[in-house]
Amino acid sequence: MAKTWRCAVVGSGLAGGWHVQLLPTLENTQLVAVCDVDPAHAKAAIESAKAPNTPVYTSLEEMLGKEKIDILHVGTPSGDHFTPARTALERGINVITEKPMEITLERIDQLAEIAKKNGVRIAGIFQNRWNVANRAMYDARQQGRFGRIAWAGCFTPWYRPDKYYQEVPWRGTWALDGGAAIMNQSVHAIDLLQWIVGPVKRVSAYSSSRIHPKIEAEDTGCCALEFADGGYGTIMGTTAMFPGGPVRIEIGGENGTAVSEGGLRVFKFREERPEDAQLLERFVPPMPDIWKKRLAEAGGPAVMEKLGLNAAVSTAGGASNKDVKIELHVKNVRHILECWEAGRDAETNPAEARKSVAIVLAFYESSRRGGDAVDVK
């Protein structure tokens, strides 16, 4: 019989709350406890997960001492993943952290070492790798269908009101968020860019806070970059563009171009395959609301569903951090469990999770130096 993983969550705010919600729904996980320094957050999470009898703790040590736990899911602020993750790993408990795994490379590398030393595993969440449009682009790249890449870019044109930063004081701070729009929001798309295209060699960046003067770090930034294979690229990220739109990933080379933006917009190769057109049809970006309304009036949504249209699942996040759907988190966690059961590391292991953080840190270093080119470590 397949193993049942006994899971606990530490830090049960927005993202930790998604883990609390998904754990009771998976076939091979059991939610055994939730810990949060603010017990009201833990209680709200277990209630919305319809698991109100789950034990709640305010001390991680106490939870780990009392409960039998196989995996600790870490949903504390990004710059405070290290302490709970290390505490669990040193007790022989596996760890799944939210993105980014941590905000420095040293801490990510140390966590990998501690896991190894204690014979357990650690993996991160980068749920957008399980978005069908992004995975189709990844597969095309793996199959060499783009040829030599000329240029590739990622754009995160999001919006967060002042309230977003004011209501949760760690957001936008260097110590706990590790930055702001680039480390917190754009890191998703930066991970996708480097995962699909390949390693980034150096960046030349600019960033500052354009409309959120009270936050320590940037709300807007962009960079030119050079990939290790010589191609060029761009990263743009902001939380200052009202009303916020979907993430866009764009890749083009000698034999093809692909664009994802809430779904697949372009997927065109010199060597065409019949499944390309099918992919484009199936993973068409979501329709504008006005079209949906007209279609609904004409009795159309059932027809759309029947045809399997609009099947792309995306974490929009454009205008709010609350419009993220948890399907991709479910896929990411399922993948981690499958790998661990098979005795291997997950795709989002520390060596992978550190790559986007390395790019973000080079981005910040370059920006501090007025746009000088900085090599990615």
Ligand X SMILES: NC(=O)c1ccc[n+]([C@@H]2O[C@H](COP(=O)([O-])OP(=O)(O)OC[C@H]3O[C@@H](n4cnc5c(N)ncnc54)[C@H](O)[C@@H]3O)[C@@H](O)[C@H]2O)c1
- Chain residues in the site for ligand X (CB under 6 A): 10-16, 35-38, 41, 60, 75-78, 80, 98-99, 125, 127, 168, 184, 315, 321, 324
CB of 294 to ligand X, least distance (A): 31
CB of 268 to ligand X, least distance (A): 29
CB of 281 to ligand X, least distance (A): 27
Pick between residue 77 and residue 233 the one whose CB is nearest to ligand X.
77
Pick between residue 125 and residue 181 the one whose CB is nearest to ligand X.
125
Helices of type H across 151-300? 162-167, 187-197, 274-282, 289-297
Region of 147 please: left (phi>0), alpha (psi -120 to 50) or beta.
Answer: left
CB of 12 to ligand X, least distance (A): 6
Pick between residue 118 and residue 321 the one whose CB is nearest to ligand X.
321
CB of 360 to ligand X, least distance (A): 12
Cβ contacts of 92 within 8 Å, gap of 6 or more: 118, 119, 120
Pick between residue 80 and residue 109 the one whose CB is nearest to ligand X.
80
Euclidean distance between CA atoms 205 and 360, whole angstroms: 10
Euclidean distance between CA atoms 119 and 177, whole angstroms: 29
Euclidean distance between CA atoms 99 and 353, whole angstroms: 8
Strand partners of residue 221 = 207, 237
Pick between residue 38 and residue 372 the one whose CB is nearest to ligand X.
38
Pick between residue 63 and residue 140 the one whose CB is nearest to ligand X.
63
CB 267 within 8 A of CB 312: no
CB of 40 to ligand X, least distance (A): 9
CA distances to 127, 155, 247, 276, 282 from 133, rounded to whole Å, are 13, 15, 12, 11, 10
Pick between residue 134 and residue 204 the one whose CB is nearest to ligand X.
134
Pick between residue 49 and residue 374 the one whose CB is nearest to ligand X.
49
Encoding tokens for residue 49? 């997960």
Pick between residue 13 and residue 237 the one whose CB is nearest to ligand X.
13
Cβ contacts of 58 within 8 Å, gap of 6 or more: 35, 36, 37, 38, 39, 42
CB of 60 to ligand X, least distance (A): 6
Q: Rounding to the nearest 10 degrees, give the CA dihedral for residues 18, 23, 25, 27.
A: 150
Euclidean distance between CA atoms 327 and 312, whole angstroms: 11
Nearest residue (beta carbon) to ligand X: 13
CB of 32 to ligand X, least distance (A): 16
CB of 337 to ligand X, least distance (A): 17
Count, in order, helices (H) and strands (E) of the chain: 13, 14
Q: Rg for the chain (alpha carbons), in Å? A: 21
Euclidean distance between CA atoms 194 and 351, whole angstroms: 13
Count of alpha carbons within 13 Å of 132, Cβ hemisphere only? 17
